[in-house]
Amino acid sequence: MLIGAGIGGLSCALGLQRAGVAVKVYEQAPELGEVGAGLTLSPNGSKALMGLGLERELEELADPPSYQAVHHYRTGRILVRRERGELTLQQYGAPYCQIHRADLHDMLADAVRANDPDCIALGHEFERFTQHSGGVTAWFTNGNSASGRALVGCDGVKSPVRSQMHEQESPKFTRYVAWRGLAPAAKVPAEAVDPPSGTYIGPGHLFVRYLIRGGETVNYVAFVERDDWQVESWSQRSTVREVLDEFSEFHDLVRAIIGATPPELCYKWGLFSRRPLESWSVGRISLLGDAAHPTLPFMGQGAVMAIEDGVVLARCMAESGSVAEAFQRYEAARVERTTLVMLESAEIIHRFFAPDTDRFAERNNRNEESLGLFHYDAWQVPV
């Protein structure tokens, strides 16, 4: 049983289906959908999805930038340029691309339901679990229950499954706040999205933007360092004026993108951190994705780590003689890597936010690519 039909849970469900392992997914929402905006699929994520049989869908729905650039916040001067496109395919065997979160979610859900129309049970908000030597039972707030050999919490950063497994930890406000928005590409200057994926950095500020949905939409995330406490929620509305005021010193092309944002597509959230867990499993219960390793967004690896988790866990379940063995192999393959990503994601923002913006290229020697994250293959890593 999987609790949560997000990107990680659906990746795991699809992996289990392809391995011939029976699976059921329980989702609290009454209808299946995904909030949010764009996300990055670095080659390690794309390769995992391709192995799930989604190569054609990725080609249709994802946008692979030819190159990326890091710009000076005020002048727009390129500080660092990174080639992508064909070079990434040659280096890693999979594309670097960007996609709307809802499109990726729909892609996964459609594939899962094509294999089993009844695999996803909606309207099932998790309440608690009980387990014994022969299995585990999940209880839901609607009065229903379900039993199986194992249960995996894929229920996000505020995971109720994790809360029952481990002592509650109060998340720590990082002093970083982020806005995310979507703007029609037709309403911004063409040079504002050249290259199709770019970042503007300045003291205490970071603006990331890229094209999605065939180049029709500009997705952006704007980060700032602030002392005032914020809500840890992706769905809190903000105003375009608030973002413009915060990025008043940024280049006109950045402000053009912000200014083109429809009011209903501007959101704000506070970023909170949690300590890495040394173990994710208790008996027949384990965790996946943000429920296991909630990751700050500064390396664009959060969704990718959940996809990798899903593939690796599906392999472990298919290749193990018991649930205990499967979870042991799963943790051995994943805990060290995801902990590294958690810790590095928390550190990299300091290099973006440093006051000496002009010297960024000199200190940009430790990032997701230099750490070797892109070479990872969730289908081939030893389990």
Cα 48 to Cα 73, 306, 312, 314, distances in angstroms: 34, 10, 9, 12
In terms of Cα–Cα distance, which of 156, 158, 160 is closest to 128?
Answer: 160
Rounded Cα distance, 132 and 343, in Å: 35
Q: What are the tokens at 103?
A: 């499109």
Per-residue burial over 104-138, b if 16 or more Cβ lie within 10 Å, else e, is bbbbbbebbeeeeeebbeeebebeebebeeeebeb
Give me the residues paired with residue 130 across strands. 137
Q: Token match 């660092």: residue?
A: 80
Q: Token match 């040659």: residue?
A: 90
Q: Any idea how long the chain is?
A: 383
Q: Token match 């990082």: residue?
A: 174
Rounded Cα distance, 199 and 217, in Å: 16
Active site residues: 210
Rounded Cα distance, 317 and 323, in Å: 7
